[in-house]
Amino acid sequence: MAQKRIIAGLDVGTTKICATIAELSRDGILEVIGIGTSPSLGLRKGVVVDIDQTVRTILEAASKAERMAGVQIDTAFVGIAGSHINSVNSRGVVAVTGSEKEIKGSDIIRVVEAAQFINIPQDRHVIHVLPREFIVDGCRGIKDPLGMSGTRLEVETHIVTGLITSVQNLVKSVQKSGIHITEDNVVLEPLAASEAVLSDDERELGVVLIDIGGGTTDVAIFQNGNIAYTAVLPVGGDHVTNDIAVGLRCPVLKAEELKIKKGCALAELVDESEMVEVVNASGKNSYEISRNYLCEIIEPRMHEIFSLVKKEISKSGFDGLLPAGVVLTGGASLMEGNLDLASEVLNTPTRLGTPEGIHGLMDFMGENMYRFQNDSNNLSTAAFATAAGLLRYGANHLYLPEGVDNEENLIYNFFGRLRGWFKEFF
């Protein structure tokens, strides 16, 4: 019988906290065995603002997942987002060592280290160092130079950083809940989501991933198979809810319910004769408005989000170079009309991104799943893209297949060594 390993993911979002547990077989197959969710308290725009409340909600979500799976979460991969996230591209160059001029794992580590000689403020923590491509003696587009012959090795990297205090507060909240993690377990949320919803062809051609959460909208651009640009916008689905609450003078919880059940990002798609019931601020009386009016409140905010994304694409320098178009994911992406509005504003094909390649995911959605009228189960799992992606990220970056020799082991683990090098250097 194949040996299995437990991997856990923890999506600490502004709207919900989701804990997932999966079994990873030695042949690389992931099967979800537990999911737990809880309403998120103690976070604002993806950043921890109350550690005690955050700890309580993490404990609630983790306990539900543990009871379902019948195992305890010892450690987990934890998603991070927030407007404090920054990224930059950098290049490193080294000479290949050894008389045979064959590129070894140590050469790859040295060249990625060389790409880190950039000015990073002391209040920032390096979350990821992601090689985009390697260049051997001027030959570009190399994904794995191990074993190749050459005299000059270069690398293009994408470096993601976050405020030290924000990263530490997230880590501290998770540790206080009884889950043992370090800063090395923290994963950028759009990077995690991409592991679950993007195809290899999309990454190769060039694609924009837009993860619309409660407090933030995460943007990640992929080209030539690797991540090339990331940004986090401080606006998300909660802003739509607040607009509805203010515009209709109703409680926030009722505004959220209206958004989920009756919301549409394009008012022109809604029948003007359709009416919806609104509860007033006191919660005692109700009145009716046209659904079209509700959607006229929603549309400007969603248009703003996609317009901000468009500015980020232009800022990245990849405008017009992304033939695979846009993939929307995240809980707020499920609103009717989002795909049409995104296509209109961004002028590119748009699809909804749902987790794939993880067995058993649908079997455990049930009451944990956001329920949207007229939406299929498959559609609704877009709200769990980051949670599912954290499991896939863990499988891809932690799991070491059988038969890997010492030289290859350097490549599997050089990200961890780089993080250690950074801590010593800075």
Judge contact between 35 and 370, C-beta under 8 A: no
Contacts of 414 (CB under 8 A, 6+ apart): 105, 108, 109, 112
Residues 6 or more apart from 113 whose CB is under 8 A from it? 92, 418, 421
User: For the residues of 84-126, what is the DSSP string, one character each?
Assistant: T-EEEEEEEEEEPPSTT-B--HHHHHHHHHHTT-S---TTEEE
Q: What are the pLDDT digits (tens) for 162-215?
A: 999 999 999 999 999 999 998 889 999 999 999 999 999 999 999 999 999 988
pLDDT digits (tens, 9 = 90+) for 140-167: 989 899 999 999 999 999 999 999 999 9
pTM: 0.85
Q: Report the amino acid identity of residue 188.
A: L
Q: Cα–Cα distance between 110 and 232 in angstroms, integer?
A: 30
Residue with tokens 């991933």: 209
Q: How far apart are the first and last CA of the chain?
A: 46
pLDDT per residue rounded down to tens, the chain (426 residues) = 445 789 999 999 888 899 999 998 877 788 899 999 999 888 888 889 999 999 999 999 999 999 999 999 999 999 998 889 999 999 999 999 888 899 999 999 999 999 988 888 889 999 999 999 999 999 998 989 999 999 999 999 999 999 999 999 999 999 999 999 988 899 999 999 999 999 999 999 999 999 999 889 999 999 988 999 999 999 999 999 999 999 999 999 999 999 999 999 999 999 989 999 998 888 778 899 999 999 999 999 999 999 999 999 999 999 999 999 999 999 899 999 999 999 999 999 999 998 887 776 555 554 444 433 333 333 347 888 999 999 999 988 764 443 444 344 444 444 444 444 444 333
DSSP state of 149: B
| 285 three-class SS | coil
- As a whole number of angstroms, the distance between CA 424 and CA 54 comes to 30
The Cα–Cα gap between 113 and 107 comes to: 10
Angle at 122 between CA 119 and CA 123, to 5 degrees: 125
Q: Which domains does the chain have, with CATH numbers?
A: 86-163 (3.30.1490.110)
CB 293 within 8 A of CB 199: no
